[in-house]
Homo-oligomer: A and B are copies of this chain.
């Protein structure tokens, strides 16, 4: 019997945002590979399965382990939080899969999920109502110059900016640099949404501005959405209008 590998997006974490497709894939899996914290999120679905928890930062190891198990005939679910295509496990899994000789590759599928950017936006209102750019501030695998160039370009072209991995104990200064870059193109009054642990225990959503943003309160579980020149914050919501032209009430 031939196995298969499903890279599964489990969404933000709450079971009410786990799609039926992801749930079914988990139920049918014989082996589940993922970061320890993600395995805990779906633990009610893992009874009797071969569960292989990994630590953070072992994405390549996870991908190869999942692939090995699938090659041995297991139906493997490789977990990603949010959507696996967005800074998730789809990319390392496919890199490993392509490195195998074609006859040795098990079938591979990606099961999409509700990404962090959509979950965070929903809690803030409608900050992504128009064009946006998504940038990770992690320079572990990307030279900082590449990240700077993208922040510059996105800020100059008035994109709403979604920032993943804004700050951690090991990377405390990148967020301040990013803010200085954006401030060269946008007013200090620009609304900034900060969402921590969207749809998880301890959820917190806050709307600040580029000028007042408290960097020290940001950690690796925070996603940041920086408004464009047209984004407004009012009465607790953050909104980017969908159009530049004036619209009448219908």
Contacts and interface: CB of A to CB of B under 8 A. Distances in A.
A149 B157 contact: yes
Contact of A91 (B9, B21, B240): B240
Interface in A9-62: 9, 11, 14-21, 24, 58-62
Interface size class, chain A = 35 or more
Chain A: interface secondary structure? mixed
Number of this chain's copies in the complex: 2
Nearest to A127: B85
A217 interface: no
Nearest to A97: B237
Contacts of A110: 121-123, 125-126
Given A16-B21, A20-B18, A157-B152, A60 B94 contact: no
A130 interface: yes
A17 B119 CA distance: 15
